[in-house]
Amino acid sequence: MTLDTTRTTAAAAAIRHHYDAGNEFYQLWLDSSLTYSCALRESPDDTLELAQDRKLRHHLDAIGAERADAVLDIGCGWGAILQRLSELGVAESVGLTLSPEQAAYVRSRDYPGVEVRTENWLHYEPGTRFDGIISIGAFEHFARPDDSTAEKVRVYREFFTRCRDWLTGDGVLSLQTIVYANMDRDQASTFMQQEIFPDADLPTLAEITAAAEGVFEVRSISNGRLDYAWTCQQWARRLRAHRAEATELVGAEVLARYERYLKLSALGFRMGKIGLLRLVLAPYDSGFFASGGGRSA
């Protein structure tokens, strides 16, 4: 078994451990779009729905989705981005997820122009080039806890290289990921590493920029850690309001685990131990792009 095969198998198991708690469970406490990532808050009066919609529009605007013919969503979740791409009339939208529950949900919606695949980006071979790539909340799962810094950078660079090769000449990657901030891996919560996101390790900003060097230029970067603290608090409040239903669906032990996870996450973001980066990256010119390479792969 190769290293990447081992990595893929572990990642799939970890994703199923967390995300396949059941669609009905997540519907109790996420917003109506089932967006399970940091919202973008601008006002104390924002609702979770409004802030999540603003976040989705941020990523869609970053890649110029209204002008796109083909878009790839790596880590598509329950399809909030894919739904909006379909509504915008994008001819071809592909979503990748490792969660069978999520994939089945997206397929059940039957969005025009949308294809969802239960597939790791390491194995994906597109038949077209994309005008934009969006990846929200997937990057955190690419590295493993026993990876050295050099190995993490290698994996991230492989991701960036593939994304560059999958984009059209003026295509853009919009990336959102949690990162280590004023703590390192050795200080991370054992509970979070073993019971919430097993076989996963957060990146640092330095690792991301090292991996992207010479492949992508960073067009913009922002840290939304306080947005994520607020988002986790909103999720926790909603989950508390539906404790009885949640207990019936997943049991008291799983419910307690999620309540603890949301509380610790909010605290970590508020204290600056972890951050939330939103990056817009554009490929550096290569010989292919300079010669006017087109969409067909």
Rounded to whole angstroms, the Cα distance separating 279 from 154 reads: 19
Residue identified by tokens 């054992």 is 190
- CA torsion, ordered 37, 76, 67, 62, to nearest 10 deg: 30
The answer to whether the CB of 222 falls within 8 A of the CB of 205 is no
84 domain-assigned: yes
Question: Among residues 275, 150, 133, which one has the least CA distance to residue 204?
Answer: 275
What is the predicted pLDDT for the residue at 272?
A: 94
Name the token pair of 154. Answer: 């290698």
The answer to whether the CB of 38 falls within 8 A of the CB of 140 is no
Residues 251-286: tens digit of each pLDDT: 999 999 999 999 999 999 999 999 999 999 999 975
Name the token pair of 110. Answer: 């039957």
Q: What global pTM score does this model have?
A: 0.88
Q: Report angle CA 33, 19, 278 to the nearest 5 degrees.
A: 60
What is the predicted pLDDT for the residue at 292?
A: 42
198 domain-assigned: yes
290 domain-assigned: no
What is the predicted pLDDT for the residue at 288?
A: 43
CATH number at residue 35: 3.40.50.150
136 domain-assigned: yes
217 domain-assigned: yes
What is the predicted pLDDT for the residue at 217?
A: 96
Give strand ranges (E) for the chain: 70-74, 92-97, 114-118, 130-136, 167-180, 216-223, 274-283
Domain residue limits at 160: 3-283
Q: Quote the number of domains for the chain.
A: 1
295 domain-assigned: no
What is the predicted pLDDT for the residue at 183?
A: 81
Rounded to whole angstroms, the Cα distance separating 112 from 258 reads: 34
**Helix 252-271 with 225-241: angle, nearest 10 deg:** 160
- Residue 95 has φ and ψ, to the nearest 5°, of -115, 135
43's CB contacts (< 8 A; 6+ apart) are none
Residue ranges, the chain, pLDDT below 50: 1, 3, 10-19, 287-297
What is the predicted pLDDT for the residue at 185?
A: 65
What is the predicted pLDDT for the residue at 16?
A: 47
What is the predicted pLDDT for the residue at 193?
A: 61
294 domain-assigned: no
292 domain-assigned: no
Spatial strand order in the sheet of 92-97: 114-118, 92-97, 70-74, 130-136, 167-180, 274-283, 216-223
